Structure 1
Amino acid sequence: MKRIYQRLKFSALLFIIAAKFSFACVIILLASSFASYSQELVFKNPTLVSGSAGQNNAVYRFPKVTSAVDALLKVKKRSANNVVIQNIDVTDFGWNKAFQPQIGISGGIVSGIKDWWVEFEISFVKTGTSDEADVSEFNLTSLDVDGDNLTIREYVELYDAASYYFEGGTELVHSAINDEDEDDDDDEPKKKNYRFLGPIKNYLDIDTLGTRVMVTSKFVKKDKIKFRIGARAVGLGSSNAAIRYNSLWFRSFSYVSGTFLPVKLTSFTVKSVEKNKIALNWNTAQEKNSSHFTIEKSLNGKDFSDAGIIFSMGNSEQPQQYSFTDVLRTGEQGLIYYRLKMVDIDGQSQYSPIKVIRIGEEKANASVLVYPNPVANELRITLPSTWHDKKVTIDIYTTNGILAKRFVTNNASQTETINVRALTPGSYMIRSSNGSDTTSQQIIKTN
């Protein structure tokens, strides 16, 4: 970029000598505009403008991420009180122009299976003000999303990007996620929200040559973005590396055999249509080099096997509808889990969120079932057959009567899943209604 700008600037200078001053100024402005459009966003020298440093609701100003734009970084929330921001922006390690928070478990030691994260929000404003400023287009590259060689795997969750791009031989595992800040419904998120989970393997330093543990997200016409930085311990042992260095560089990178995520899934529903038949329906908003969908099924929520394959449209900017009927075998009862594996023509794949259905004899006046209880992450609610395909509202209230979360679907499935990971541990009341009938159950939320 620097060499291109220098050539344009030199050409403009020659034109000034050879032609009229006013016309030459146009050439100079064009050169300057071209350089500005392609520049990265620079995150340096943050100052705390409100709140307590490192705590929820703290706001930091990063001055002049572009020549006319500042970035206001807000610490929105974290997974638990023992999750700490040790340094909001590390400068003696990694890359000076990147946003580099140091995050982890207080004390730096983690044992057993745990998951932790901090959620950030960045608002773009005009320099020195709080006035909104759209940035027409920019890239955000997550660097060094790796592990500690023992038990820890880092991850980043990115919300509502226009696209994502990563190495063909990436070591990152990507999966679609729901946005907890939006009202839930029976469809998958219409925005592109993904988690990229790194390997246990540790890559040396924060190196831009480590492209197998990097992912670039592209944002278009945004004045605000949201993302989470986290990690999980996946083994039974302990690690003293639970304070992690993280690096998000707001620029693009080149990848070997780079791959775009092939499919934008907008809905995925599962329902029982006959005694031994399950109907799966899903819609896509766009497809890029998509090959097929593999329908995967599990009886325990962990071990999945192939139930069928549906070939996709391939390339499309128009909405597409797909369906598959799974005929249950003898003995397949209780909870059955389904997910879609979306595969592109290069063999790269991504998974949909998991859908759950309960199979078994149902009494005519069956009640609403809420489980597991206690619950840590996902709450499942099985509805009576008379509630299916209707509008259902499920509210979660604190013991003080405050609405903590609302789930609304206009086309209820047999079993709905609500992510309650962000709720504070404690006792809650679940109120389910189909407009005419209402039920209430109490649950306990744990860490």
Structure 2
Amino acid sequence: MKNLILLSLFVFVSLAGCTSSNEENNLGFEAIESSNLKKEFIFDEVIDYDLIDADIKIRGANITFRGKNIINSKIQIKNDGSFTFDNEEITIKGNLFQMNANGLICFTDKNITLKTDYETITHKSEWCYHKADLPVTMIFFKSSKQGNNIQLKWATATEENSDFFEVQRSFDMINWETIDRVKAAGNSNTRKDYSFLDDKIPEVSRVVYHRLKQVDLDGASMFYGPVAVKMGSTEEEVTIYPNPVAFGKNLKVVSTYDHMKVRIFDVSGRTYYNETILSNLTSIPMNYGKGVLFVEVQNGAVKTTKKIIVH
């Protein structure tokens, strides 16, 4: 359970048509303002409001969070600082938590339920977690289309008491099927490279997701991923869906790149989201407003822009 909670915090998804000159009509967008908090905490403090599009740094302070939502936010915990969840139900989506070796993520004893991008977790006891609680240090995990198959590759920098990796497949990121196991290194302080070919994929023309369930020798486990590949005959390098997307729901971006820069903006050029994603898949909560937006996906000099509708 410890490892599953850490993963959910640290893990970092109808096709959209490209825009053309004759589509430059009815491009209005009604923005909904967010808290957009940018702050460095050096003293203990209680946050009793939601964090949306926030960028906060915690340096040696103990921060207690009593809001209900943390959306599209970056939280850095440094210099023996801590971030404590203290509400019975908290939704955390599209966030990046970073902490150094002395940072802590903590939970009070309120039987807390965390609703993350991919999991719902209930934590029933008062406890704190260090970065060192992660049993495997993952360097990368990626997938690529190989004809009608999907090649998975991943590498670890260190492993401690790791038993095996369970490879799982899904078509909706809700229902997951275990398709095989790959033996892990056990204990290692050197880089280990792994690969797996999923050659039993049903004939589909949609996005196929994979994730890894890493299991320790003591039965504890955590998840890595998901990663995604768009199957079928399409040659598109970027897939964005659903489109239209409902306000508050996740917009998914899947590409053929190992990493990508994703920007979301309106017809006036105002930017609502601008992040570098170190994988080929991201899931972005659409909490910016309703109307027409543009999603720009860039990898090096290659740039793709598509129009989406939020309703």
Give deviations 1:83-107, integer Å, cap 9, x for gaps. Answer: xxxxxxxxxxxxxx96444324xxx
Aligned ranges 1:318-357 → 2 under 5 Å: 318-357=190-229
Larger radius of gyration: 1
Question: CA separation in 2, counterparts of 1:176 and 1:343?
Answer: 21
C-alpha RMSD of the superposition: 4.6
Larger strand percent: 2
Question: CA separation in 2, counterparts of 1:102 and 1:394?
Answer: 30
Does residue 103 (structure 1) correspond to residue 60 (structure 2)? The answer is no
Among 79, 84, 92, the alignment partner of 2:52 is: 79
Among 414, 430, 433, the alignment partner of 2:295 is: 430
Q: CA separation of 1:144/1:433 partners in 2, compared to 1, >3 Å: closer, same or farther?
A: closer
Among 122, 126, 137, the alignment partner of 1:264 is: 137
Kept in 1, the 8 Å contact 2:37–2:51? The answer is yes
Q: CA deviation at 1:298?
A: 1.3
Structure 2 portions without partners, runs of 5+: 1-34, 54-60
* Aligned counterpart, 2:121: 197
Q: CA separation of 1:303/1:60 partners in 2, compared to 1, >3 Å: closer, same or farther?
A: closer
Q: CA deviation at 1:330?
A: 4.1
Kept in 2, the 8 Å contact 1:395–1:403? The answer is yes
Q: CA separation of 1:218/1:400 partners in 2, compared to 1, >3 Å: closer, same or farther?
A: same
* Aligned counterpart, 1:441: 306
Alignment partner of 1:341: what SS?
A: strand
Q: Which amino acid aligns with 1:428?
A: L
Question: CA separation in 2, counterparts of 1:99 and 1:165?
Answer: 10
Q: Which amino acid aligns with 2:142?
A: T
* Aligned counterpart, 2:282: 418
Among 215, 223, 229, the alignment partner of 2:128 is: 215
Question: CA separation in 1, counterparts of 2:86 and 2:216?
Answer: 25
Q: CA separation of 1:340/1:302 partners in 2, compared to 1, >3 Å: closer, same or farther?
A: same
Give deviations 1:73-129, integer Å, cap 9, x for gaps. Answer: 99997239xxxxxxxxxxxxxxxx96444324xxxxxxxxxxx227685788xxxxx
Among 341, 356, 370, the alignment partner of 2:240 is: 370
Does residue 280 (structure 1) correspond to residue 160 (structure 2)? The answer is no
Give deviations 1:21-63, integer Å, cap 9, x for gaps. Answer: xxxxxxxxxxxxxxxxxxxxxxxxxxxxxxxxx993477662x
Aligned length: 259
* Aligned counterpart, 1:379: 252
Aligned ranges 1:305-324 → 2 under 5 Å: 305-324=177-196
Structure 1 portions without partners, runs of 5+: 1-53, 63-70, 81-96, 105-115, 125-134, 178-194, 204-209, 220-259, 383-387
Q: TM-score, normalised by structure 1?
A: 0.46
Q: TM-score, normalised by structure 2?
A: 0.63
Q: CA deviation at 1:407?
A: 5.3
Question: CA separation in 1, counterparts of 2:250 and 2:150?
Answer: 25
Q: CA deviation at 1:389?
A: 5.9
Alignment partner of 1:278: what SS?
A: strand
* Aligned counterpart, 1:361: 233
Question: CA separation in 1, counterparts of 2:113 and 2:66?
Answer: 22
Give the % identical residues: 19
